[in-house]
Amino acid sequence: MAIQTLELDARLYGYLQSISLREPAVLIQLRQETALHPMGRMQIAPEQGQFMALLVQLMGAKKTLEVGVFTGYSALATALALPPDGKIVACDVSEEYTAIARRYWRQAGVADKIDLRIGPALETLDHLLATGQANTFAFAFIDADKRNYDNYYERALKLVRPGGLIAIDNVLWSGRVADPEVKDNRTQAIRDLNQKLHRDPRITLSVVPIADGLTLALRRE
């Protein structure tokens, strides 16, 4: 996990932010509060949030999906980029972490855009499929437990429409995926998914070395 783009020294990273980051005050406040949290490294980098917001706007997205909310930074960045009638279905298991998210969503005036589903994400995704919501999402962001990444991806691929985009976080995993000596289950799950996506004919693929690595998988027609 990384809260800034990998392999940039402090001077260059500061410069990158100074000439690119346009972070609303409410996102700054949320990021600063989360940085004090014991699990604060789970938060995405601000430049990644801005990049995803740009993607959502470029696509003209109105309905998006998020698997893994934590304190709500990515959902808030996305919600601010959506039109007034836009909606996010957001999946998480933690009432504690998402209580922080809800507070900032209300502060930003976007709480009505975010449908937070508390419970195992696979159950939520299966329910969405069972209730006829396949092919209806424009964008999906996956940033949850790594051992289920493949399961989340397969369901997201059914839920996004043709031409829809799936973004998957932490695919470079602080460089551990490239170290053959690292063999823990989470690292191997990311490696396996990275290899699978590289071969997957159902998508157009790009891996962007922003923050901790972000895979973009565009569902083909």
Q: Which domains does the chain have, with CATH numbers?
A: 10-219 (3.40.50.150)
What gap in Å lies between CA 18 and CA 88, rounded to an integer? 29
Question: Whole-prediction pTM value?
Answer: 0.95
Per-residue pLDDT of the chain (221 residues; tens, 9 = 90+): 555 566 788 999 999 999 999 999 999 999 999 999 999 999 999 999 999 999 999 999 999 999 999 999 999 999 999 999 999 999 999 999 999 999 999 999 999 999 999 999 999 999 999 999 999 999 999 999 999 999 999 999 999 999 999 999 999 999 999 999 999 999 999 999 999 999 999 999 999 999 999 999 999 98
What gap in Å lies between CA 192 and CA 189, rounded to an integer? 5
- Non-local (6+) Cβ contacts of 146 within 8 A are 170, 173, 186, 187, 189, 190
What gap in Å lies between CA 165 and CA 138, rounded to an integer? 6
| CB-CB contact of 128 with 159 (8 Å) | yes
